[in-house]
Structure formats: structure tokens, C-alpha cells
Structure 1
């Protein structure tokens, strides 16, 4: 079973508990803090994931961290389950899957927007409304710029790409011109 499948299963289980306890935002923030803490600290990551270390030592380390950082009971219990099941190494993937599951349940989708220049707030709002109308979902943006587009935008929503860039239009015109000559 792949890491993505494992991460999604844990994420779904945690999302169920988080929604039942009305703690989604809190748990989401805590998961990202914990995955950052573990993955940015090489020694800690090794201590919690290396099979050479005894499980009792790993538990003691985790309990010390839980006492120090005081996460919610749900997050603390979830971290204990991950450690017990030797899945703490996948916390980053689980945290990402958790965010995806919550967005799916809230009918939110990611739109990756690349524009030739930064978009104004009015342009972002108009784009959001247009994409929400096309997809039937709430839109969360991931914005970036690429001056090589020359103008316009490229929007990727799921597996659908809307290419409204000047560069794309010029490429299409060039192909039409070549085929008509």
C-alpha cells in the first residue's frame, strides 16, 4: 500500500473525529505545526522514525513534546496512534491529506493561477466568481506570476487547464498561420 493511500486513510479517520468534535481548524493548524516540528528537526525525526530506537524511548520523547506544546487531546491521541502504528514518518503526507479531505467535504477546490503580473483584488474576485460558476465549488487560490505569459492567466483546477494567456493565443495563431500557408 502506498504512502498516499495510507495517509488518506488516517486523514479521513481524523477528519471524522475533528468534525464530530468541531475542532477542524484547530487540529489542522496543530497537524501542520507538528509536521513542521518533526520534519525540520533532523534529530527528532530520526529519533521518532528510526527502527533502531526502542518504542518506549519514542513514546517518552513524544510524551515530553506533547507536555511541552500542549496540543488538543484529539491531536495528542492521533500522534500517539501514528507512533504506535509506525506512521509518524508520514505525518506530512497525512496533514496534507487531512487538508484535502476537509476541503472536499466543504466543497472547496484548489485553483492554481499563474498570471503575467500580480492580480488586483478586483481581478481575483472576478476570477473566483467565474471559476466557482464553472466548477460549482468554492475556490481556494494558489497564485504565482510568470512574465513569459506576456499577459492573461493560466488557471488549473483539478485536471482542467484554462489557458487564457497571450503566449498561448500567439502559439495558436502561429499554428494556424503555418497550416494555412
Structure 2
């Protein structure tokens, strides 16, 4: 995987987009969706990697997916470039670098909340609020379920981990 090319592609995409928070986040979600599809769906991956399929068809399909995310037209140019370079295997790295650049631009950080099971909205908002207060910065949260935690939660950002899980408490006892 070519990290330099991934970095150039991520920065190029960001430079072409309007600097509106909602747009930048939508593009990130789209990149994550397409990369997840690429990793998990063999038919999609085979379609994208098949040299017999014309690039126009690949771009057409990806653009149709992007329309569901209400993305600006600049994304189409990026998709075209991605397909032309056959860079879809690098999309995970491109997204990671894009997200990093967006965080710097918006002074926004991404945080993951891992929960054992789905929490009610009030509890979730309380956790988010407290973590933002502790770190003294705005965070974009992504919530994921992880039954192995047994109970409680874990919050992860780049450089900060708060583990309030039952699993961790039990590990401390042994």
C-alpha cells in the first residue's frame, strides 16, 4: 500500500470540498461505507477489481452510491480518480488520513464509545458530555456494541482511553 499516494489523495479530496462540517463528515461516512463494502462484500470487490469491467461502469456505480449521501459534485471527480488509479484497496488508509485532516481543520476529534449493549439516549448523552468536559474539546462520537465488555463502556480517542467496563474491572481482580 502506498502511504504517500493515500496521503495525496486524502488531501486532494479535502482541498476540493466546501469546508462545511456537515459536508466533510458526510464524505467521511461515504468513504467508510464504500471501504466497508469493499472489505466485506466479495461481489463488490470483484466488480471493482475486475479489469474486464470498464472504469465508466465502476464510476457510475460508485457515483450512484454517493448520491444517497447527499455529497457535493467534487466527490465524483475523486471517485473517478480513485477508479482510474485502481486505488480502492487503499481506501481505508485514505479515509483514515482524510479524517485526520478533517479533525485538524475543524478542531474536532473522533471518539469511539464501546458499549456492552445498546444504551438509552440520556445515558449516552451524559457519557458524551462528561468526556467532552474532561478533554475540553468537541468530539464526534461513534457508538459500537461489544458484548465482551459485559457491562459499562470504553471511550477511545487518539491519545485517550477511558475504560469503565465490567470486563476491565474483573481483569483487575485477577
- Common fold, TM-score beyond 0.5? yes
From the CA coordinates, give the structure whose radius of gyration is larger.
1
Question: In structure 1, what is the Cα distance between the partners aligned to 2:169 and 2:26?
Answer: 45
Question: In structure 2, what is the Cα distance between the partners aligned to 1:58 and 1:162?
Answer: 48
Question: In structure 2, what is the Cα distance between the partners aligned to 1:160 and 1:131?
Answer: 10
Structure 2 residue 168 is matched with structure 1 residue 168: yes
Question: In structure 2, what is the Cα distance between the partners aligned to 1:44 and 1:65?
Answer: 10
Task: Specify the alignment match of 1:81 in structure 2.
Answer: 81
Question: In structure 2, what is the Cα distance between the partners aligned to 1:128 and 1:32?
Answer: 22
Question: In structure 1, what is the Cα distance between the partners aligned to 2:60 and 2:83?
Answer: 14
Question: In structure 2, what is the Cα distance between the partners aligned to 1:63 and 1:112?
Answer: 31
Any idea what the Cα deviations from partners look like across 1:38-93, whole Å, max 9, x if unmatched? 7742442123xx4xx6xxx7444456557877965412222233344443443454
Question: In structure 2, what is the Cα distance between the partners aligned to 1:112 and 1:68?
Answer: 29
Structure 1 137/67 Cα, relative in aligned 2: closer, same or farther at 3 Å?
closer
Question: In structure 1, what is the Cα distance between the partners aligned to 2:129 and 2:121?
Answer: 12
TM-score (norm 1): 0.63
Structure 2 residue 144 is matched with structure 1 residue 131: no
Unaligned regions of 5+ residues in structure 1, if any? Answer: 176-181
Q: What secondary structure does 1:19 align onto?
A: coil
Structure 2 contact 9–94 (Cα < 8 Å) conserved: yes
Any idea what the Cα deviations from partners look like across 1:110-142, whole Å, max 9, x if unmatched? 333233443221211111111112223322132
Question: In structure 2, what is the Cα distance between the partners aligned to 1:64 and 1:141?
Answer: 30
Unaligned regions of 5+ residues in structure 2, if any? Answer: none
Q: Number of aligned pairs?
A: 165
Structure 1 81/124 Cα, relative in aligned 2: closer, same or farther at 3 Å?
same
